[in-house]
Structure 1
Amino acid sequence: MKIYQKRILNARFYCGFSVIGLAIPLPAPALANACREPSAIQQNIANSTIQLASWVDAPQTLIPKLVQDLGPWLAAYLNPPPTPNLHVRAKQARVPIMMYHDILPQKQVFFDVTPQELATHLELMRSHQLTPISLAQLVTHLRTGIPLPKKPILLTFDDGYSGHYQYVYPLLKKYGYPATFSIYTSNIGKNTGRPHVSWEQLRQMAADPLVTIAAHSVTHPADLRDLSEAELRFEIAESKRILETQLGISIDYFTYPAGKYDSRVTRFVGQAGYKAALTMDDSADRFAGESESLLAIARIGQSRLKHAIAGAWGGSQLPAWGVKFDFTTDISVQTTTIDSSRFILITGGKPITIHAKSRYQVPQILVGSPAIAAVDGGFFSLKSLDSNVMIGPVLSHSGKFVPGNNSENRKLNGRPLVLINSQAVKFVAFNSQQHNTLAGLNAALPNVTDSFVAAAWLVKDSQPQPASTFGSLFDYDAARHRAFWGINQLGQPTIGVSTKLIDSVSLGIALAQAGLRDAVMLDSGASTSLAYKGESLVGYTPRPVPHVVALIPPQTMTQSDCVMASR
């Protein structure tokens, strides 16, 4: 068994492993230069393969580990939606495709770029830690939903100008960035007032793994939609044939001249054997995941680079095979903006709940506890200012179980019951006949340490929940401050709040994009609270609460993970 690198026709690379001569290609979408740079994905494959090499010594542990680590990637890769549809996960990511035209020392029109400006653009990408990807990586992502790096970007250059060889290509090699060059064949080697690359220069570029060559028609007609079928077939199929013959590679992608296409044009593109096609729209900037299909992938003009950099996001982690949890990672705070809504997320550690003796601000409840972060928890009675009576049964980490009121419990049926033990979290539909005793909670999750009834599912099995699932929940469709907690795709607990007003359905969509595998809504509105290391992270004074979901750092956990709720 060995890790290998394989060149596929047009210099696109795939990472994979070979078992007894059977090659299983694994796409490497998180790598800037395919398989050549270290990444979490490549390391994961390498570690798993090294372990598999000694499977004869411990097959009962190593084979399941390999399957668990690589299984989601293989499953996603081998189960794309019907062509040319985009995968639903790809629609959640924000991948900018930057469109450039001529690069020359003196600008002639507004969309020309000088070599110095292009170098500044590349340096800006590097300083903001973006990862330029290849078109093959993007298409794999759009087909399968396999995530890209945290901040991906794709560079494209249209029309085959000589400046692409003279200025762009050396800069790509300097930075190690891949790019796609769209070539229309009739002007290769000609000077039409603007010189174009020669066949020899194009062959040199095409031989480099950094470079992808896409067909851009034969003559660059003003509008493919106006052509007859014979003319359309010539522009689309003949350009592919010419490029493949001259360059000795497979041409898998097409770029529409001036971005103009319709259903007839895309049909000819698909019939010619292209895997995907690039377009453009001067009136709208769209990320790749907002594209109509693989045969109409949207791009953004180079003048909007700063906007594109600010929004770039490669998508959430793949759903894990089986249910797994990780309570061993350090706790970290992240502020993120998704679809113009801002969220504060705290991830890591071990989740617990604390049921205080009265109502306090969340930082006060954490005093005396090893937990360093918390969000307000379940619903509670408002009959008195110092009441700690919860709506529904509650079991806190201190070990005290308090049953819920029978009349109130019946109204909670079907809402998510949160169950936590030292190794797992479980969200089940609350049943007032089964879950109002400690024995009933243990039947749902053995060795349960914490439990309470949440407001509603926001994300369930990686899918945001539609309006129909919220039933009669008060104000679920109103824009309010919201509190939530759940488990991400890596099995880590995540607590958080929205900093802008948002409705429950939109919140679920955003949290699915943020990578939550399961998430439930907590007491929100005036109670929305979040604290970290003794400080409130919300910009207002929330209503005091008696209950929180908290996170304990892994280094402070003991065998029993004892926590007191003395307040």
Structure 2
Amino acid sequence: MAWWKRLLVMALAAILLLGAVWWGSGKILPAMRRLSVTQEVRLPVLMYHGVHSNPKKAGDYVITPQALEEDLLYLQQQGYTTVVMSDLIAYVQQGTPLPEKPVMITFDDGYYNNYLNAYPLLQKYQMKAVISIIVGETDKYSELEENKENYSHITWDMVNEMMESGLIEIQNHTYNLHKTGKPRRGAAQRKDETAEQYFAAVGADLQKAQDRIEEMTGWRPNTFTYPFGSYSRHSHELLEQLGFAASLGVEGKPCCLTRDPSCLIRIPRYTRTSQKSAEELLCHFWD
């Protein structure tokens, strides 16, 4: 082969190689990145309610501060990093990375004993948590200024103090629908109401809660926490109309996150009772 032909072949080969590199960086690698962010991320979500200093109060929905501290120590020793709902939503919607071993701690109802007994422990271990408040109860006890460990709820001053720490994220647990009695259970649809009536009644309560939280804190919740885990066929549509990005349920299984927004619907949680510790709930989670 003549020297000029060899030179031409070498030049063409170089052009093809550069083109392949450019194509890979501009086309193939992004596709690989798209595949990577669709991989499933599993994380445990723990659900707490009351944290009471009297061991005699411990039960299905109440644990002692000592038990909570044991849970936090276990999570710390196992290398968990706490996240909140905004982190989960950012992962799903924007692909924002999560910690290598994430866990989410949640408290439902917004009891005063969460502020009294749980919040200091979260500060001690620098762990984050989500507190879903019954907004009507927070309004009520903000006026009463009656801080009783047995039954009181957190006030707006307490809410703002905890939020300002950067450790607590507040979410919506209805304004005044946290009730088990008939005809409505929590935020579920009544048997005797149409879809339109359901949207109007429950929508008004949830909107009132959203507006009140924003008015008192400057923060508008992105997540609705179903009371008792009760929901209906139209519940998710209603939440979408109200601007919620996610919801929390009560089913005891792992939370599996992808880039599909549907994975944020009724995120399952493990109920932490006085009979089963976080270690017992999570010891086989990564098996």
| Partner of residue 181, structure 1 | 131
Shift of 1:298: 0.9
Distance in 2, Cα, partners of 1:290 & 1:127: 24
Deviation, structure 1 residue 142: 3.9
Indicate whether 1:225 and 2:193 are aligned.
Answer: no
> CA separation in 2, counterparts of 1:307 and 1:116?
16
CA contact (8 A) 1:290 1:298 kept: no
Report the AA paired with residue 226 of structure 1: Q
1:195 lines up with 2:155 in the alignment = no
For residues 375-394 of structure 1, give each alpha carbon's deviation from its aligned partner in whole angstroms, at most 9, with x where no partner exists. Answer: xxxxxxxxxxxxxxxxxxxx
Tell me what 2:256 maps to. Answer: 289
Query: TM-score normalized by structure 1?
Result: 0.38
Query: Could you list the per-position Cα deviations for residues 279-320 of structure 1 after superposition, in whole angstroms to 9, with x for gaps in the alignment?
Result: 113xxx21111796312111111236224433556xxxxxxx
Which shifted more, 126-135 or 219-228?
219-228
Shift in Å at residue 221 of structure 1? 3.2
Say if 2:110 and 2:153, in contact at 8 Å, map to a contact too: yes
- Report the Cα distance in structure 1 between the residues aligned to 2:165 and 2:96, rounded to whole angstroms: 25
User: SS at the partner of 1:293?
Assistant: helix
Q: Which segment drifts farther, 121-130 or 134-143? A: 134-143
Work out which of the residue numbers 187, 201, 223 in structure 2 matches 1:253. Answer: 223
CA shift in 2, pair 1:262/1:293, >3 Å? farther
CA distance in 2, matches of 1:271, 1:304: 37
- Is 1:242–2:212 an aligned residue pair? yes
Give the corresponding residue for 2:63: 113
CA distance in 2, matches of 1:290, 1:221: 30
When residues 298 and 304 of structure 1 are mapped into structure 2, their CA distance, relative to the original with a 3 A threshold, is farther
1:138 aligns with 2:88: yes
The 2-side partners of 1:271 and 1:142 are apart by: 19
Give the counterpart letter for 1:232 in structure 2.
V
Query: Equivalents in 2 of 1:299, 1:306: separation in Å?
Result: 15
RMSD: 3.1
Indicate the structure (1 or 2) with the bigger Cα radius of gyration. Answer: 1
Letter in 2 for 1:294: L
Q: 1:309 aligns with which of 258, 282, 285?
A: 282
Question: Structure 1 residue 114: deviation in Å?
Answer: 0.8
CA contact (8 A) 1:94 1:311 kept: no
- Choose between structure 1 and 2: higher helix proportion: 2
Q: Percent of aligned positions with the same letter in both sequences?
A: 26
The TM-score normalised by the length of structure 2 is: 0.72
Give me the whole-angstrom Cα distance separating, in 2, the residues matched to 1:263 and 1:194: 33
The CA distance in 1 between the partners of 2:160 and 2:271, in whole Å, is: 27
**Residues 554-565 of structure 1: matches in 2 within 5 Å?**
none
1:206 to 150, 163, 170: 163
Structure 2 SS opposite 1:289: strand
Residues 253 and 276, structure 1, Cα contact 8 Å, conserved in 2? yes
Q: Does structure 1 retain, via aligned residues, the 8 Å contact 2:105–2:129?
A: yes
- For each residue in 1:352-389, what CA deviation from the matched residue of structure 2 results, as whole angstroms up to 9, or x when unmatched? xxxxxxxxxxxxxxxxxxxxxxxxxxxxxxxxxxxxxx
Q: Distance in 2 between matches of 1:275 and 1:173?
A: 28
Correspondence for 1:300: 270
1:269 and 2:254 correspond: no
User: Do structure 1's residue 100 and structure 2's residue 48 form an aligned pair?
Assistant: yes
- For 2:60 and 2:263, how far apart are their aligned partners in 1? 30
Q: 1:183 to 1:263 in 2, by over 3 A?
A: same
Q: CA deviation at 1:143?
A: 4.2
Partner of 1:375: none
> Higher strand fraction: Structure 1 or Structure 2?
1
Q: Could you tell me whether the CA contact under 8 Å between 2:257 and 2:264 is conserved in 1? A: no
User: Which amino acid in 1 is paired with 2:212?
Assistant: I
Decide whether aligned partners of structure 1 residues 311 and 88 sit closer, same or farther in structure 2, where only a CA change above 3 A counts.
farther
Unpaired runs of 5+ residues, structure 2, are 1-21, 191-197
Q: How many residues align?
A: 234
| CA distance in structure 1 between the aligned counterparts of 2:91 and 2:280, rounded to whole angstroms | 22
Q: 1:151 to 1:293 in 2, by over 3 A?
A: closer
Q: Which amino acid aligns with 1:202?
A: V
**Letter paired with 1:209:** G
From the superposition, tell whether residues 311 and 134 of structure 1 become closer, same or farther in structure 2 (CA, over 3 Å): farther
Q: Which amino acid in structure 2 is aligned with residue 183 of structure 1?
A: I
Confirm or deny: 8 A CA contact 2:109 2:132 kept in the other structure: yes
